Amino acid sequence: MGEVNRRDFLSTLGVSVGTALSATAGAALPVVGVAHAQEKPKGNIPDTPFKIGHMTFFSGPAAVLGEPMYRGQLLASEEINAQGGLLGKRKIEVLKADENAGTDANVKELRRLKLSEKIDFFCGITSSGNTPALGPVAEELKLLTIFVDGCTDLLFDKAVPNPHYIFRVTNMQSADGVTAAVAAAQTWPKAKKIAHIHPDYSYGRNAFDHWTITFKKLMPQAENVSEGWPKLGTTDFSSHITKAIASKPDLLATSVWGGDYVAFYKQALRYGMFSKMKVASMIAFGVAPHAIGKDHPEGIIAGVHSNYHFTYPAGDRWPYNKTFVEKYNKRFNEYPNFQAEGGYTATYLLKSAIERANKLAGGWPEDDAIIAMLEGLMMAAPAGYVYIRPDNHQGYKDAVTGFSKNVAEYPFPVLDPDRIITIPIRNITAPPGWPKGEPTSTYTWIDKTWPKVKA
Amino acid sequence: MDFLLIHLLNSLLFASVLFLTAGGLSLIYGVMRIVNLAHGNLYAFGAYVTAWAIGGVLAGAPTPLLYLLLPAGAVAAALLGAALEPTLLRPFYKRAEEYQLLVTFGLLMILEDLMRLLWGPYPLSASALWENSGSVTISGNPYPNYNLVVIAIGLVAAVFLWAFVYKTKFGVVLRATSQDMRMASALGIDVNRVYVQAFTLGCFMAGLGGAMIVPRDSAVLGMGVDALVLAFIVVVIGGLGSLEGALAGALIVGVVRELGITFFAEIELAVLYLIAVLVLLARPAGLFGRP
Residues from chain A that touch B225, judged by Cβ atoms under 8 A, are none
C-alpha–C-alpha distance, residues A428 and B205, integer Å: 53
Put residue B33 in one of left, alpha, beta given phi > 0 → left and psi -120 to 50 → alpha.
Answer: left
> With an 8 Å Cβ cutoff, is B184 touching chain A?
no
Among residues A253, A19, A286, A243, the alpha carbon closest in space to that of A128 is found at A286
pLDDT band of A22, cuts 50, 70, 90? very low
Q: List the single residue in B with minimal CA-CA distance to A260.
A: B217
> What whole-number percentage of chain B has pLDDT above 90?
70
Q: Would the CB atoms of B122 and A59 count as touching at under 8 Å?
A: yes
C-alpha–C-alpha distance, residues A43 and A48, integer Å: 15
Q: Do domains A6-19+174-306+399-449 and A31-171+314-392 have the same CATH topology?
A: yes
- Mind listing the pLDDT tens digit for each residue in A162-213? 999 999 999 999 999 999 999 999 999 999 999 999 999 989 999 999 999 9
Residue B245, min C-alpha distance to chain A (Å): 24
Q: Would the CB atoms of B10 and A259 count as touching at under 8 Å?
A: no
HEC readout, chain A: CCCECHHHHHHHCCCEECCCCCCCHHHHCCCEECCCCCCCCCCCCCCCCEEEEEEECCCCCCHHHHHHHHHHHHHHHHHHHHCCCECCCECEEEEEEEHHHCHHHHHHHHHHHHHCCCCCEEEECCCCCCHHHHHHHHHHCCCCEEECCCCCCHHHHHHCCCCCCEEECCCCHHHHHHHHHHHHHHHCCCCCEEEEECCCCHHHHHHHHHHHHHHHHHCCCCEEEEEECCCCCCCCCHHHHHHHHHCCCCEEEECCCHHHHHHHHHHHHHCCHHHCCEEEECCHHHCCHHHCCCCCCCCCEECCCCCCECCECCHHHCHHHHHHHHHHHHHHCCCCCHHHHHHHHHHHHHHHHHHHHHHHHCCCCCHHHHHHHHCCCEEEECCEEEEECCCCCEEECCEEECEEECCCCCCCCEECCCCCEEECHHHCCCCCCCCCCCCCHHHHHHHHHCCCECC
Give the B window 98-117 contacts with A, CB below 8 Å.
116
Peptide bond into A439 cis (omega under 30): yes
Predicted pLDDT of residue A25:
38
Q: Which amino acid is at B185?
A: S
Residues from chain B that touch A287, judged by Cβ atoms under 8 A, are none
Q: What does the pLDDT profile of chain B (291 residues) look like in tens digits?
A: 678 999 999 999 999 999 999 999 999 999 998 999 999 999 999 999 999 999 877 777 888 888 988 999 999 999 999 999 999 999 998 888 899 999 999 999 999 999 999 998 888 888 888 988 889 999 889 999 999 999 999 999 999 999 998 999 999 999 999 888 889 999 999 999 999 999 999 999 999 999 999 999 989 988 999 999 999 999 999 998 888 999 999 999 999 999 999 998 888 878 999 999 999 999 988 998 876
Mutation to test the A interface, candidates B9, B21, B127, most A Cβ within 10 Å: B127
DSSP H or E run through B11: helix B4-32
Q: List the single residue in A with minimal CA-CA distance to B138.
A: A271
Complex ipTM:
0.90
DSSP H or E run through B216: helix B191-217
Predicted pLDDT of residue A261:
94
Q: Would the CB atoms of A60 and B265 count as touching at under 8 Å?
A: no
- Mind listing the pLDDT tens digit for each residue in A393-419? 999 999 999 999 999 999 999 999 999
Order of strands, edge to edge, in the sheet holding A16-17?
A16-17, A421-423, A399-401
DSSP H or E run through B177: helix B169-179
DSSP H or E run through B141: strand B141-144
Peptide bond into A435 cis (omega under 30): no
Mean residue pLDDT of chain A comes to 92
> With an 8 Å Cβ cutoff, is B10 touching chain A?
yes
> With an 8 Å Cβ cutoff, is B39 touching chain A?
no
CATH topology of domain A6-19+174-306+399-449: Rossmann fold (3.40.50)
Predicted pLDDT of residue A97:
97
Q: Would the CB atoms of B131 and A266 count as touching at under 8 Å?
A: yes
- Mind listing the pLDDT tens digit for each residue in A348-379? 999 999 999 999 989 999 999 999 999 999 99
Q: Would the CB atoms of A295 and B131 count as touching at under 8 Å?
A: yes
Instruction: Name every residue whose Cβ is closer than 8 Å to that of residue B37 and which is 6 or more positions away in sequence.
Output: B101, B104, B105, B107, B108, B228
Angle at the Cα of B83 from the Cα atoms of B68 and B215, rounded to 5 degrees: 30
Residue B170, min C-alpha distance to chain A (Å): 37
The radius of gyration of chain A from alpha carbons, rounded to an integer in Å, stands at 21
Q: List the single residue in A with minimal CA-CA distance to B117.
A: A59
- Mind listing the pLDDT tens digit for each residue in A272-314? 999 999 999 999 999 999 999 999 999 999 999 999 999 999 8
Per DSSP, the three-state class of B133 is coil
Domain assignments of chain A as residue spans, ordered by start: 6-19+174-306+399-449, 31-171+314-392
Residue A94 has pLDDT above 90, yes or no: yes
Instruction: Name every residue whose Cβ is closer than 8 Å to that of residue B30 and which is 6 or more positions away in sequence.
Output: B178, B240, B241, B242, B243
Predicted pLDDT of residue B65:
87
End-to-end CA distance of chain B: 41
- Mind listing the pLDDT tens digit for each residue in A39-84? 788 899 999 999 999 999 998 889 999 999 999 999 999 999 999 9
C-alpha–C-alpha distance, residues A71 and A340, integer Å: 6
C-alpha–C-alpha distance, residues B280 and B291, integer Å: 12
Q: Does domain A31-171+314-392 have CATH number 3.40.1410.10?
A: no
Per DSSP, the three-state class of B138 is strand
> Burial letters for B102-117: b for 16+ Cβ neighbours within 10 Å, e otherwise?
ebbeebbeebbeebee
C-alpha–C-alpha distance, residues B206 and A345, integer Å: 46
HEC readout, B17-68: HHHHHHHHHHHHHHHHCCCCCCHHHHHHHHHHHHHHHHHHHCCCCCHHHHHH
Kindly report the backbone phi and psi dihedral angles of residue A396, in degrees, each rounded to the nearest multiple of 5, phi listed first: -130, 130
Mutation to test the A interface, candidates B122, B124, B264, most A Cβ within 10 Å: B122
> What whole-number percentage of chain A has pLDDT above 90?
85
Kindly report the backbone phi and psi dihedral angles of residue B264, in degrees, each rounded to the nearest multiple of 5, phi listed first: -130, 55
Q: Specify whether the CB–CB gap between B260 and B268 falls below 8 A.
A: yes
Kindly report the backbone phi and psi dihedral angles of residue A394, in degrees, each rounded to the nearest multiple of 5, phi listed first: -100, 140
Q: How far is CA A235 from CA A397, B50, B206, B290, in A?
A: 32, 17, 18, 35
Q: Specify whether the CB–CB gap between A81 and A150 falls below 8 A.
A: no
> With an 8 Å Cβ cutoff, is A266 touching chain B?
yes
Dihedral, A6, A10, A11, A16 alpha carbons, nearest 10: -140
Q: Would the CB atoms of A240 and B2 count as touching at under 8 Å?
A: no
Q: Specify whether the CB–CB gap between B231 and B39 falls below 8 A.
A: yes
C-alpha–C-alpha distance, residues B123 and A404, integer Å: 23
> With an 8 Å Cβ cutoff, is A68 touching chain B?
no
Predicted pLDDT of residue A2:
55
* Residues in chain B, overall count: 291
Could you say which DSSP state residue B289 is in? -
Residue A30 has pLDDT above 60, yes or no: no
Among residues A136, A132, A175, A171, the alpha carbon closest in space to that of A155 is found at A132
Order of strands, edge to edge, in the sheet holding A395-396?
A32-33, A378-381, A384-388, A395-396
Could you say which DSSP state residue B219 is in? B
Residue A222 has pLDDT above 70, yes or no: yes
Residue A3 has pLDDT above 80, yes or no: no
Instruction: Name every residue whose Cβ is closer than 8 Å to that of residue A140 and which is 6 or more positions away in sequence.
Output: none
Residues from chain B that touch A271, judged by Cβ atoms under 8 A, are 135, 141-144
Q: Residue B286 CA to chain centroid, in angstroms?
A: 18
